[in-house]
Amino acid sequence: MHRITSSPERGELGRFAEVARALGSPFVAAVLEAGERQLPHAPRTAALIRDWPGETGSDAVAMRFNAALHAIARAGRQPALTALYTQQHDDFDGAIGAALAASDDVIAVSMQDTPQTNEVGRSAAIAAALMVAYQTFGMPFELFEIGSSCGLNLNLGRYGYDLGGISAGVGGSPVQIAPKWSGANPPPAPLDVIAARGVDLNPLKASEAGTRDRLLSYVWADQPHRARRLEAALALALRYPPRVDHANALPWLAARLEEAQPVGQCRVVYHSMVLQYLSARDRDVIIATIRHAGARAIIERPLAWISFEWSQTRDEVQLCLTCWPGGETRVLAICHAYGEWIDWRAGTAR
C-alpha cells in the first residue's frame, strides 16, 4: 500500500479536485487528490503536468488525467484500480499509486489528446435557447456546431426533454434529458431542426469501439446516469449518424455562413465548452465571423448564436443567445458545466 503523503503545495490536480467536488463528484475529487499525492510514482506524467505548455485550467489537464485513469480502470488492466472504480475498496492512494507506476507512459500519451466529453446533458440548455429563438422568429432551424467531437449534440432534435416541467423534443426518444431546473420556464416551442452539420479537428465516430470507450472514460465514475445517457445517445447516433466535417473551424464556419440561406429558415451557430481550447486569436476570429454574418441577417433570413461556455472569470457557465437582426446578447441561464442543472434567468441583457 502506498502511504498517503501531503504535497508541499497544491497543484493543478488538487485545484481541480475542489471544482469536481463542487460539481457533485466526490469520487473524482478523491481520485485527483490521491493522484497529486502519488504523482512521484509517474515521473513522465508529473513532468507533463508540471511543464504543460498552455494554461492548465482552460486545457482541462486534470480532466485529461482523470479520464486516462478511468480508461485504465474500465479496461481492467490494473485490477486494484478497477476495484476502486467499482467501489470494492476505498484505498485511493494504493490503487492510484500502483496504476501510475505501472502505466506512466500510457497516461502521459493519453493526456496529450484533446478532451472529448461531448456531454449530451448540455443539449437541454441548447434546446431551451432554440425555443427562445423560435419564439423570436417562428422558423425551423439549420444548425452549425463548432467543436462537435462525435456529433452527439447535433442530434439534439431527436432527444426528449423535461425543462422545468415543459416537455420538448421527442417524447419517445431513448435519450431523455431532465436537468434540475430553477427559475422561470422557457417558452414552449417545437424543436424543428431541418439540418444539422458540425466540424471538428478530430471528429469521432460512434461506430468505433475506441470512440465509445474514450467518451465514456470522460464521464465521471460516480455519475452513472450520465454514462447511461451517453450510451443511449451513441446508440442513436448509429441509427442517425451526425454529419461532422474534419476541418479547422475558422474557415469552415466562414464558408458555411457564406452559403445561401433559404427564406423562412433560421440559421444557428452554437458551441458548448469549446472556446476555452482555442487561442485568443482564433476565438476572436470565430466571434468576428459570426458577427459579420449577423450584420447581413434580415428578418426573413435570421441568424442566432448560442454559446454554452465559461464566463471570462471562469466562475460560472453561461448560456447566451444573440439574435440578428438586432444583435442583442442575452444571458439566458447559468448552468452546471455538464448540464445537470439550469438556473434560468429569462434573458438578462449582457
Angstrom distance (rounded) from CA 219 to CA 177:
16
Angstrom distance (rounded) from CA 74 to CA 92:
16
Sign of CA pseudo-dihedral 312, 227, 85, 217: negative
The amino acid at residue 186 is P
Q: Which three cell numbers stand for residue 229?
A: 445517457
Most distant CA atoms of the chain, gap in Å = 68
Angstrom distance (rounded) from CA 266 to CA 300:
8
Nearest Cα to 49, choosing from 58, 41, 37, 39?
39
Tell me the β-bridge partners of 320: 307, 331
Digit-coded pLDDT (tens) for 6-42: 344 679 999 999 999 998 999 999 999 999 999 999 9
Q: What is the pLDDT of residue 350?
A: 56
Residues of the chain below pLDDT 50? 1-8
DSSP element (H, E) containing 180: strand 180-183
Angstrom distance (rounded) from CA 128 to CA 304:
13
Q: Which three cell numbers stand for residue 313?
A: 472569470
Nearest Cα to 39, choosing from 48, 26, 30?
48
